[in-house]
Amino acid sequence: MSTPDFSTAENKQELAQEVSCLKAMITLMLQAMGRGCGRVIIKMEKQIAQMEDEAQAAVFSSTVKQIKQAIGSNPVPAESITDSRYHV
């Protein structure tokens, strides 16, 4: 099995787009998890609360807030997970 290339962009704009893509992908994964996503978010919020670096904690908190808002505003029904439209 070959190792996938996860190289990261060198310019800030492209890197920001990569981060946005990852946020969207994680949001979709959490939506697909259904009720389990709440546990993931709670664990992440607990980890953020324990961070010593306040600036990093603020960025993490903002990211989690964005994802929570996206999940709350666009939930994927459990029955649609088996729908072929959601499979890649």
pLDDT in tens, the chain (88 residues): 678 888 888 899 999 999 999 999 999 999 999 888 889 999 999 999 999 999 999 999 999 999 999 988 655 554 444 444 444 3
CA dihedral 77, 79, 81, 83 (to 10 degrees): -120
Predicted local distance difference test score (pLDDT) of residue 25: 94
Identify whether the C-beta of residue 86 lies closer than 8 Å to the C-beta of residue 32. yes
pTM over the 0.85 mark: no
CA atoms in the 13 A half-sphere facing the CB of 85: 4
Predicted local distance difference test score (pLDDT) of residue 79: 47
Predicted local distance difference test score (pLDDT) of residue 20: 93
CA-based radius of gyration for the chain: 15
